[in-house]
């Protein structure tokens, strides 16, 4: 980014903003170069104005949740990275409907509804990331998805219009919500059902135990690297192809769960991308299945996961 443009952006943005902040501390992989500009809006008004300013300056924007399910380039992001704060992270109840800002932790949302004796989100307990990010990718686990309780969301379109998208407006699929790909979530609402609080907490504890038993929670990771292929599991295919424990630099296929890559120390985005390509090649050569990455690359000039087939 031209330094003059960067300085003008910093003056025009309506919220706390800085230049050159490293993104690695803001991702669950603990990987990534700096943001040219790192903006932290605290209200819907600040977020809306920050996006308008970036659009006016023709500067690309990346909306960062809690940094899960992404791989940030070693060169960082040449644009404005937005991280929601304060009002944009708050939640409140309206009867059996919970309203959440996009920056709230999904972990906090599941705990919040449980504390009010409401059921429907137990299986999502422990999923890392923000509510906005979880909605964007239709986060799910153990047979449930965030779409199951979703009612509606207020969203900002690319042209600056605010619209309300209801459940029927969005064609949720496996780890995708196409109508949300080009909008920014301002607030989302979920319909829950009254439940027995002891049973709700018992189910959440069961889910947490499953996560601890099956996932490598002791190392930084971005969660599942690949989407589940039809009728199979990425981890099973990777293990069967001899990929479990494979390593490039500080990036490793987890010996505990082959579907998750971990940062065992000092891993770079280049390491992870090379490992993704290696594993995709192994699985394709062995089973003729091309695994589709679930992790979103950020700041790369070309697709870092592409292989020739």
Where in the sequence numbering do the catalytic residues fall? 175, 224, 294
Q: Which string of DSSP letters, residue by residue, matches 252-263? A: EE-SS-TTEEEE
250: left (phi over 0), alpha (psi -120 to 50) or beta: alpha
Q: How far is CA 273 from CA 95, 215, 289, 305, in A?
A: 46, 21, 18, 6
- Please give the Cα distance from 125 to 119 (Å, whole number): 12
What is the maximum span of the chain, computed from C-alpha positions, in angstroms? 58
* H or E stretch covering 9: helix 3-12
Q: Are the CB atoms for 237 and 248 separated by under 8 Å?
A: no
Give the three-class secondary structure for 14.
coil
Contacting residues for 116 by C-beta, under 8 A, at least 6 apart: 93, 98
């Amino acid at each position: 980014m031209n330094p003059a443009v960067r300085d003008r952006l910093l003056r025009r943005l309506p919220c706390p903003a800085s230049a050159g902040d490293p993104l690695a501390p803001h991702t669950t992989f603990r990987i990534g170069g700096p943001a040219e500009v790192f903006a932290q809006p605290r209200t819907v008004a600040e977020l809306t104005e920050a996006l308008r300013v970036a659009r006016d300056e023709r500067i690309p924007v990346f909306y960062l949740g809690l940094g899960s399910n992404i791989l940030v380039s070693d060169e960082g992001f040449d644009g404005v990275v937005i991280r929601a704060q304060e009002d944009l992270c708050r939640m409140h109840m309206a009867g059996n409907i919970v309203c959440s800002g996009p920056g709230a932790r999904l972990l906090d949302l599941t705990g919040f509804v449980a504390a009010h004796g409401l059921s429907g989100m137990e299986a999502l307990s422990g999923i890392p990331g923000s509510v906005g990010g979880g909605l964007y990718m239709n986060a799910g686990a153990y047979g449930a998805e965030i779409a199951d309780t979703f009612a509606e969301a207020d969203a900002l379109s690319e042209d600056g219009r605010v619209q309300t998208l209801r459940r029927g407006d969005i064609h949720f699929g496996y780890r995708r919500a196409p109508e949300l790909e080009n909008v920014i979530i301002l607030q989302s609402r979920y319909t829950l059902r009254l439940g027995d609080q002891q049973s709700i907490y018992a189910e959440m504890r069961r889910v947490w135990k499953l996560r601890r038993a099956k996932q490598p929670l002791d190392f930084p990771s971005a969660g599942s690297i690949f989407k589940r292929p039809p009728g199979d599991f990425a981890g099973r295919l990777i293990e069967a192809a001899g990929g479990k424990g494979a390593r490039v630099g500080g990036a490793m296929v987890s010996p505990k769960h082959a579907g998750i890559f971990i940062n065992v120390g000092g891993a770079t985005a280049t390491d992870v991308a090379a490992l993704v390509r290696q594993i995709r090649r192994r699985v394709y050569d062995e089973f003729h299945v091309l695994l589709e990455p679930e992790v979103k690359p950020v700041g790369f000039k070309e697709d870092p996961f592409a292989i020739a087939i």
